[in-house]
Structure 1
């Protein structure tokens, strides 16, 4: 599956692309969620387990002097299907498996300045709505098929995000692909970087999820 829409996803807050640019991608609509006042998200349909070998979460981060690429090596969960349609997604990211294109950066990302993985080893995205793109969604990327809304929890902070995605139901399962920008500070990741090499607050995340034998055609890590 080739998608021009899928410009290089992550769950989260990191370092950012050349001269402070993380590249083109839609900005996820983000709203704070008071988890204590909301009930658990429930899903309808049959659960299709996510294939850990065929699913990835990647990120692009930028600072004044350049960019960094990375991701998380372990992604698990389920995609829900009802009457042939994808109705939900429950995705867990093992934050302890964070990696990047620089060993020192990877170690720093695991610290309290960023993901603090010893205290917060798991990030989770649970969809609350998946709807087909309509004519009213004229500003979305042309290849987008659906708009996904749900809760992203990271470092024990939860925000509702909404973003376009390419979702396909196949004989082998289902695939979900998306690329969008988030503001890392909304999840408490506020480390500014060095004074002469400040970090961009925006991070580009790429989600490529596949169930069963279905394979999501995510972009390569290198740009």
Structure 2
């Protein structure tokens, strides 16, 4: 007997990312002693929830030029050819390949390189806003090695180590709106 995962209150249909109530964030180690956090402000996407949750799909597009870390100089460096090369690669995309209610796996494309990524997902629930719109919330976390996507710029430190970690932690807080 096969048991299909369900998420209480989440109905089948098409849901879109609400960019005003969603955040795609990341954390990198700086000089191996502290953390720098950033996020992308321009995120769009669609989730199609199927009656069989495992048949659901998710797609997202993130404009790399919308990166913000709290430092204009660092943001400009991230947009440069040393990292995202926004002029030639303005966006990154994610397309799911599987979802079981707790784990989302998909293909992440950055700078023309596509690699699989697995995210741990926590379902926040479903609610109706004051205007009658159905909303659902999810949090997702994971870790990637940025060098897998050709993001290899770094600087060696005098006493050992490097300026920017290769391991990047991802933290997504996504609100979806149900489409009529």
* TM-score (structure 1 length as normaliser): 0.64
Q: 1:18-167, aligned counterparts within 5 Å?
A: 46-64=13-31, 65-83=33-51, 85=53, 87-132=56-101, 146-167=102-123
Tell me what 1:183 maps to: 145
Whose RCO is larger (CA < 8 A, sep 6+)?
1
Secondary structure of the residue that 1:108 maps to in structure 2?
Answer: helix
Superposed CA RMSD: 2.0
Which string of whole-angstrom CA distances, capped at 9 and with x for unpartnered residues, describes residues 2-59 of structure 1?
A: xxxxxxxxxxxxxxxxxxxxxxxxxxxxxxxxxxxxxxxxxxx632111110111111
| Conserved 8 A contact 1:148-1:164 | yes
SS at match of 2:65: helix
Deviation at 1:96, TM superposition (A): 0.8
Q: Which runs of 5+ in 1 are unaligned?
A: 1-44, 133-145, 214-223
1:37-87, Cα deviation, whole Å (9 max, x unpaired): xxxxxxxx6321111101111111112253211111111011111238482
Aligned partners of 1:90 and 1:167: how far apart in 2? Answer: 17
Q: Deviations over 1:130-182 (max 9, x none)?
A: 013xxxxxxxxxxxxx1111100011100011221113552423322112211
Q: Hey, what's the Cα distance between the residues in 1 that align with 2:53 and 2:98?
A: 12
Secondary structure at 2:19 match in 1 = coil
Structure 2 alignment gaps of length 5 or more: 1-11, 128-133
Output the TM-score relative to the length of structure 2.
0.79
Aligned length: 156
Q: Is the 8 A contact 2:125 2:138 kept in 1?
A: no
More strand, by proportion: 2
Runs of at least 4 residues of structure 1 off by over 4 A? Answer: none
Bigger Rg, structure 1 or 2: 2
